[in-house]
Structure 1
Amino acid sequence: MKTLFDKTKLLNMEMKNRFIRGALWEDLADEKGHMTPELFNIYEELAKGGVGTIITGYAFVTEDEQPNPGMMGIYDDSFIPEYKEFTDKIHSLGSNIIMQIVYGGFMTNFNVGERTIWGPSTIQNETTGTWAKEITKEEIKYLVEAYAKAIARVKASGFDGVEIHGGHGYLLSQFLSPYYNKREDEYGGSIENRGRIIFEIFEAMKEVVDNNLGAARTKVVVSKDRESYFKDYAIKLANMVDIPIILIGKNRHLDVMEDLLETNMYTLK
């Protein structure tokens, strides 16, 4: 019988339990993306509270592309010493720590007039009203290299893994969407082409870290039948792949989580 408190593994990363804190933007880093005492304390309290594995809020990979204020940064080597102190502390409390990294694109209203914002095509975001400039192939190469350098810093900083943000209308999900991606080159058209930039980032990541790193809008929950609201997607996905699946999205009650884990133990690793 599986329980939420089982020790388990994600690739080579030992996990003391199945509890994972999903990535959330805290809006507590300084204006350059560096840690503050308030931000440090949030993660320290999570580790002290027994969360086995913590994923940070997203960190921006190029200095001139920060989609929201108060985000963590990972765009140059100045972050490594403070993040090493940070990861050492989290590890000393018995938890794993993974960093999420991102390029935002036009899902932003932050400092829009002061920077160039890339998108798969020149198009306006209907939610933010922000326009994106079509990224050139040379700029794609630069961005892939920026991700690779960021991932190298993640490793040097002592994180246990890295998560590449690919959802919620940010740049990589824009490439996947035929609505936003109108390109006619090798980065547009078929799903294989629209996903090409993601696979290039992944391959660059593998070259940097030698496969030594691991992983992977709020809704108000008022009753048990409304929590774990991504579970159906997670179960379908788990039936399609042979790797561990992480379920986020208002997992509140232990009995609900235990039941989900036990009744779907043939799919949820």
Structure 2
Amino acid sequence: MWCSGLRKRYGKRTAVDGVSFSVGRGEVVGLLGPNGAGKTSVIKMLLGLVRPDDGEVLLLGRPGRDPRARERVGYLPELFRYQPWLTAAEVLTLHVRLSGARVPAAEQADVLARVGLAARSGDRVGGFSKGMQQRLGLAVALVARPELVVLDEPTSALDPLGRVDVRDVVLDLRERGVAVLLNSHLIGEVERVCDRVVILDRGRVAASGTLAELLGQRELRLRLDGLTPAAEARMAAVGAVTRTGREVTVALPAGEEDAVVPALVADLVGLGVRVHAVEPVRISLEERLLGILREEHA
């Protein structure tokens, strides 16, 4: 999925102003920003639900305005309602027919099982809780074997167990080479599953990039006793060292944290240093998001 220069005005208000980004196959991209930032408007333009005033959209190699482009797209909107007199299985069958795909009943049942509704497939939707309806909406987004899945607040009505289930589904989609665009206010969930993040503010892209690019370099915080010149040289070989009393902070090389940290700690112990605490640290996505938005509004 690719979009460039998307713009949309509603009367005198500019909702989206020059938004550009892409989502590759097997990639999960998170869309973040405060309420009113333009996230849902962008999603609706991507899916042809709202016509942009300017800009281009490509869905799976076809222009966004081409109905055939949307045949392989799964969508979970933030707000939706299904016919309360239908069962969960009937809702899925209806949406399979609307999509034009051929999905056997057994495969539809498997999709309901993936979202935790296997035991409720024959129950009428009118009796479902908000969380169960959210699970059904996710099943509808997945049932026609999409190659691009757009999820708008997929965990809004779910308990912690439901959020874990959605996370597992998203990671499974990525493993199967499906492109996923995820809009969520739950920043921790975005941080766990997304490869890249696009931050919108007042209709514009305030920042974008991989988590490593947005969050910056990771550091290792150590509390040590018995430091020797040899131990200090060993830490300096890893990265810049800052020392405050017994606490030492070492900058870690990007992408090598998992290999560097155990080796460094083992070497320090071998050099006679007493290691009381080891804490890898990095600014959280929430802190980075707030910092970006404060800079934008300053």
TM-score, scaled to structure 1: 0.33
Structure possessing the higher radius of gyration over alpha carbons: 2
Between 1 and 2, higher relative CO (CA 8 Å, sep ≥ 6) is seen in 2
